[in-house]
Amino acid sequence: MGASAGGPARVYLGIGSNLGDRLASLRGARVRLAVLPDTRLTAASRIYVTAPVGGPEQDDYLNQVVEIVTDLSPRGLLEAVGGVESALGRERRVRWGPRTVDVDILWYHGLSISDPDLEVPHPRMKERRFVLEPLADLAPDLVLPGGVTVRAALDGVQDQDVRLFQADRAEQTLSRSGGRDMDHAAIHAEIRELAREKQAVILAHNYQRPEVQNVADILGDSLNLSREAAASQARMIVFCGVHFMAETAAILAPDRPILLPELRAGCPMADMVDVEGLRALKAEHPGAVVVSYVNTSAAVKAESDVCCTSANAVAIVGSIPAEKEIIFTPDRNLGSWAAKKAGREMILWPGFCPTHDLIEVADVERARTEHPGAKVVVHPECRPEVAEIADAVESTSGMIRFCREDDGHEYLIGTELGMIYRLSQDVPGKRFHPVTGVSVCPNMKLTTLDKVLRALREEGPVVTVPPGIRAKALRAVERMVEVGP
């Protein structure tokens, strides 16, 4: 358990190296820290070249500070950090002298510990520019013992020799492997650094690759993320998801660039409904209310009366006056589930999500045999006969809530596979299995860490929505919000 009863602890670690391939040692330390149990590496400072403080004549150090968020206790972390040091060839704890790597716990969630082998905050950090300079990259306003901030403490140590490490590290590491097989932790650190420099917020959908989920500031479903985009103070928004999601963010946050790291990441279900076809259906049913799932293009939203999500579809459908006809687009599965729950008949557009529609009753039955006692939780984008035999039908955010609050321990999840990772992170201590391993959305998986880094560097590709369409689409989204969350 971390320091705070309320959640994981934020920790700053100082990494130094002045022996062997110093850059590789820093990278190795970041990689290993990022994969410690119950730990996320959330930021990394720039790297500094620093003259050795104390000891015999020796090479300059490379120094860096990283931020992690961890559930490990201070002692658990100390032990884990020792393991990282030994794995990187740190042989013994010499007080002064060359070392392949040295990892110090500088600050642990504001805790104050004074034991012989563990002192936090680090007792000498206020006097060491090689610590303060990189720490100021991440947390200049962090208050150190004595009430002084990192920024203020730096003023007192300006005489020490500390230079920024000059090489363009991202360029170097990317070109080494052509950008393909670069390790996740290193690129993660580069992304976090650039996001901080550029004041960008990174949003990732629950179906994204685990390493993309790990690098994000905020995770969620498409509408939550778009709302976060609108509420955020960030200068730019990196949307790790598919095209209609970035469009929805652009509808709600038109004043900031919305970057979609992979422009080809589309949604086949959203593409199944087009403006002309919808207009033709509306002409056949004049007076019908058009309810469109957020998984539609901005142009289709602009043709719709009200939007819905998988979490609020039943409420939206139920809010429409009984005498009105309803056209529901584009998902026939979500539509028929919402119609049944709300007790309404609807004209269903014949679209579907190929990833969810692949899940069959036989898959549920097989999974139940393999995991007797596990509860089946499926997404309403699944076929009606699959939803029918499930223990619960929930949106992605609903799945997290359900599995957290439910008294069971094991669940079979019928949705895109990324959700298994999301659930295992958000609902620790319970077991999650996919109903079938085939539920992979190839579009969601197009976004990689390399592409997130490139999007941040190039500040593109940017997704925009023409103002005329945006105004109409916004009206449909706002109507949804008026009905409820």
Q: Report the catalytic residues.
A: 90, 99, 102, 104
Q: Closest-CB residue for ligand GSY? A: 16
52 near ligand GSY (CB under 6 A): yes
Give per-residue burial for 111-138: e unless 16+ CB within 10 Å, then b.
beeeeeeeebbbeebbebbbbbbbbbbb
16 near ligand GSY (CB under 6 A): yes
CA–CA distance, 472 with 474 (Å, rounded to integer):
5
Tokens at 23, concatenated: 């850059």
239 near ligand GSY (CB under 6 A): no
Cis peptide bond prior to 210, omega within 30° of 0: no
Beta-carbon contacts of residue 336 (< 8 Å; ≥ 6 apart): 346, 348, 384
Query: Cβ 75 to ligand GSY, closest distance in Å?
Result: 20
Please tell me whether residue 214 adopts helix, strand or coil conformation.
Answer: helix
100 near ligand GSY (CB under 6 A): no
Among 50, 222, 329, 396, interactor with ligand GSY by CB under 6 A: 50
Instruction: Give which of 47, 45, 63 is closest to 99, Cα–Cα.
Output: 63
Pick out residues in 141-160 that bind ligand GSY (CB under 6 A). Answer: none
468 near ligand GSY (CB under 6 A): no
Nearer to ligand GSY, 26 or 403 (CB): 26
Query: Cβ 15 to ligand GSY, closest distance in Å?
Result: 8
Nearer to ligand GSY, 87 or 438 (CB): 87
130 near ligand GSY (CB under 6 A): yes
Query: Cβ 124 to ligand GSY, closest distance in Å?
Result: 8
Judge contact between 190 and 161, C-beta under 8 A. no
CA–CA distance, 268 with 442 (Å, rounded to integer):
10
Nearer to ligand GSY, 115 or 161 (CB): 161
Q: What is the x/- site pattern for ligand GSY, positions 403-422, by CB under 6 A?
A: --------------------
Q: What is the DSSP string of 267-297?
A: -HHHHT--HHHHHHHHHHSTTPEEEEESSS-
Contacting range for ligand GSY; rule: CB under 6 A; set: 46-54, 232-240, 243-251, 258-266: 46-54
Nearer to ligand GSY, 56 or 178 (CB): 56
Tokens at 347, concatenated: 């004209």
Among 42, 45, 63, 292, interactor with ligand GSY by CB under 6 A: 63
CA–CA distance, 91 with 314 (Å, rounded to integer):
62
- CB-hemisphere CA count at 13 Å for 480? 24
Strand order in the sheet with 375-378: 392-393, 375-378, 410-414, 431-434
Among 1, 21, 83, 96, interactor with ligand GSY by CB under 6 A: 96
Q: What is the x/- site pattern for ligand GSY, positions 350-389, by CB under 6 A?
A: ----------------------------------------
Nearer to ligand GSY, 16 or 261 (CB): 16
Q: Bridge-partner residues for 143, per DSSP?
A: 149
102 near ligand GSY (CB under 6 A): yes
Angle between helices 243-252 and 467-483 (to 10 degrees): 80
Query: Cβ 96 to ligand GSY, closest distance in Å?
Result: 5
Tokens at 201, concatenated: 């917020």
Query: Cβ 63 to ligand GSY, closest distance in Å?
Result: 5
23 near ligand GSY (CB under 6 A): no
Within its chain, how far is the Cα of 259 from the centroid? 15
54 near ligand GSY (CB under 6 A): yes
315 near ligand GSY (CB under 6 A): no
CA–CA distance, 220 with 298 (Å, rounded to integer):
20
Tokens at 243, concatenated: 């095209």
Instruction: Give which of 373, 357, 358, 360 is closest to 433, Cα–Cα.
Output: 373
85 near ligand GSY (CB under 6 A): no
Nearer to ligand GSY, 102 or 221 (CB): 102
Instruction: Give which of 261, 338, 331 is closest to 296, Cα–Cα.
Output: 331
Contacting range for ligand GSY; rule: CB under 6 A; set: 51-59, 66-74, 286-294, 447-455: 51-59
Residue ranges binding ligand GSY (CB under 6 A) = 16, 50-54, 61, 63, 96, 102, 130
